[in-house]
Structure 1
Amino acid sequence: MVAGWFTHDSGEEDFRLLGTRCTACFSVFFPREDSFCRNPGCGGGELTEVPLSRRGRVWSYTDGRYRPPAPYVSDPETEWEPYTLLAVELAAERMVVLGQAVPGVSVADLTVGMEVEAVPGVLNEDAGTVWTTWHWRPVEEAR
C-alpha cells in the first residue's frame, strides 16, 4: 500500500482515495502533494488532506494483455492474466484517476460514461505480504 493514498482501516462503504487541496487556489491533487501547490498559476498555500469522491464516470479504458518488463512485479513462472485499466473522472473534483477494474470486469463490460466506484483491492501478494490498492467497480454490480 502507498501510505496516504487511500483509507485502509475502514470497511468498503467508507473506502476513499485521499488527495490534497491547496487552501489558496482550491486545486485538488491525486496522488497527494505535500510539498507545494502544483497549480502553476498559484502562489502557494497550505495543503490539506481531503477524501475524494468515491464515484465517478468512465472516461476511457483498455486492457493489459502483455506481461510488464522488470522492475514491475511479474513472475515469469506463472500464467499471465490480462487486466482492465480504467481512467475515471471523479464526480465532484472533475479530475481523472487511473486504476484497475475489479477482477472479473473486462473491457466488454464497460462503456464510456458508465458510473463506477472505488473499492479496496489487492495489487499483489508476495511472501505473506498483501499489497493493497484501489479498484474500480461498476455501480450496477455493487451490492
Structure 2
Amino acid sequence: MPTKPQQPAIEGWFTMDVEQPHLLGSRCTTCGTYAFPAASHFCGNPACAGTEFDSVELSRTGTVWSFTDNRYQPPEPYVSPDPFEPYVIAAVQLADEGLVILGQLTRGATTDDVAVGDRVELVLEPLYEDDEAEHLVWKWKLAGQADDAEEVQP
C-alpha cells in the first residue's frame, strides 16, 4: 500500500524537510528582533517601531528553558490520539537567536526524561492522519543532557 503524502498541520510555520526541518520566523529589519511565528505588521520589541521584516529559517537546536506536562486533552481544532496521551511541553531557547519557543517533546518523552538546560533539536512528527495525508507538526527531540558550564539565559 502506498504511503500517504506528508503535509504540514500548520502552513507556513516550518519547512517540510523531514531530515533537517526549520521553524520559519522573521527578523525585524530595523532592530534585528526575531519572531515566531513570523511577524507581519509590527515588531515585537516595544522599543522599536519597525514594520518591515526578513523571512528567516530559525535554529534547529536549543536549550530547555522550562517544561511541564500537559495532562488534559486540548480542544478542537487540535487533533489528539484516541485515547488521549499526556505529553511534555518545553520552552526552548534557540541556540542562535535567543528566542524562546514553546513546543511538545517527541512522543513518549516524560518529565522524568528532561531537565532545564538539556539540549534539544527540532524534528517533525505526525499529529494526525486523514484520508488524504499525514499531517506533521514540529517537536523537540532530546539531544543531550544539561552541561554544568552552560547557563540558560532568561
Specify the TM-score bucket, using the shorter chain as the normaliser: 0.7 to 0.9
- Scaled by the length of structure 2, what TM-score is found? 0.79
Contact 1:25 1:45 in 2 (8 A): no
Structure 1 residue ranges without an equivalent (≥5) = none
Q: Give the aligned partner of residue 25 of structure 2.
A: 19
AA at the equivalent of 1:6: F
- Give the % identical residues: 46
Letter in 2 for 1:55: T
Q: CA deviation at 1:139?
A: 1.0
| Counterpart in the other structure of 1:59 | 65
Answer whether contact 2:41 2:51 (CA < 8 A) is retained.
Answer: no
- The 3 A distance-change label for structure 1 pair 34 and 62 is same
Measure, in 2, the Cα distance between the counterparts of 1:96 and 1:87. 6
- Tell me the matched-pair count: 137
TM-score, structure 1 length as denominator?
Answer: 0.85
Listed as ranges, the gaps of 5+ residues in structure 2 are 1-8, 146-154
Secondary structure at the aligned position of 2:62 is classed as strand
Mapping 1:81-120, distance limit 5 Å: 81-120=85-124
Q: What is the alpha-carbon distance in structure 2 between the residues aligned to residue 39 and residue 63 of structure 1?
A: 30
Corresponding residue SS for 2:138: strand
Inter-CA distance 109–71: structure 2 relative to 1 (3 Å threshold): same
Asked whether the equivalents of residues 57 and 115 of structure 1 are also in contact (C-alpha less than 8 Å), the reply is yes
Query: Once the 2 structures are TM-superposed, how far is the Cα of residue 56 of structure 1 from its aligned partner?
Result: 0.5
Change (3 A) 1:43 1:112: same
23-32 or 59-68: bigger deviation: 59-68
The AA in structure 1 aligned to 2:87 is Y
